[in-house]
Amino acid sequence: IETGLTADCTMLEIGENREFLMTRPAFGGNLMATIICPDHRPQMSTVRPGVMTRLSKDENRDGKITDFKVNFDHSKMKVKVLNIIKEAKAKVDITEAKILVSGGRGVGAQGGFDNLELLANELGGVAAASRALVDAGIVSHDRQVGQTGKTVRPDVYFAFGISGAIQHLAGMEESEYIIAINKDKAAPIFGVADLGLVTDLGKTATYLVEEIRKIKAEK
């Protein structure tokens, strides 16, 4: 803190005295702390990808590209890249999706998540997950939303069977419109949801898929 540097923020705002308000996980990720450095300048902060909204394209602006030649002395380098092996499976970029259909522990097993993928496909979106499903080996880590996953801001975020732990909320609460489906009406996810359905998630996902297919067939 003495250096005025805070890394890996999940939120960055400007305070009253033009100080950074740098929010990041603290105490092993069990709470979010907003750090202020009133006495040290310059203030610096790094933010996680997806935290800032992208500016829309402005054709009137131009920039200058300057090539900067860096002369590396390879004999002084302690780390050498021996080989680059690409992962065979194509990774999914959940940060680019406009619609995310996310599932949590409540989804249960692989079949439950497959159902959500079906819904995501019908909606033209992408399926994502809480860490619970990643830890269970049902979903790959590139689809994990949250503090140790990705920060996302889709237009619509469906949370199926996700309780709304602070580490999950840190990655999705800035979504434009949040729809939570949970059988527990006291689940914290409802605190950030724009629309909440207190019901069984399996029935809801199946119902939505059927209704969307009907509407598409009528067109």
| By the rule CB under 6 A, 102 interacts with ligand FAD | no
Beta-carbon count within 10 A of 194 CB: 12
Minimum gap (Å) between residue 42 Cβ and ligand FAD: 29
Euclidean distance between CA atoms 165 and 94, whole angstroms: 19
Binding mask 107-136 for ligand FAD (x = CB under 6 A): -----------------------xxx----
55-86: b or e for each residue (b if 16 or more CB lie within 10 Å)?
eeeeeeeeeeeeeeeeeeeeeeeeeeeeeeee
Helices 201-218 & 110-123 angle (0-180, nearest 10): 30
Q: Which range touches ligand FAD (CB under 6 A), out of 1-9, 86-94, 115-123, 141-149? A: 141-149
Binding mask 3-42 for ligand FAD (x = CB under 6 A): -------------------------xx-------------
| By the rule CB under 6 A, 196 interacts with ligand FAD | no
Binding test (CB under 6 A) with ligand FAD, winner from 99, 140, 200, 212: 200
Minimum gap (Å) between residue 7 Cβ and ligand FAD: 15
Minimum gap (Å) between residue 179 Cβ and ligand FAD: 13
In Å, what is the CA distance from 31 to each residue of 26, 135, 165?
Answer: 6, 21, 10
Contacts (Cβ under 8 Å, ≥6 apart) of 14: 20, 21
Tell me, by CB under 6 A, how many residues bind ligand FAD: 29
| By the rule CB under 6 A, 149 interacts with ligand FAD | yes
Name which of 33 and 215 has its Cβ closer to ligand FAD. 33
Binding test (CB under 6 A) with ligand FAD, winner from 151, 168, 180, 190: 168
End-to-end CA distance of the chain: 59
**Helix, strand or coil, per DSSP, at residue 69:** coil
| By the rule CB under 6 A, 175 interacts with ligand FAD | no
Euclidean distance between CA atoms 147 and 159, whole angstroms: 16
Residues that bind ligand FAD (CB under 6 A): 28-29, 104-106, 130-132, 144-149, 161-163, 165, 167-168, 171, 181-184, 187, 200-202
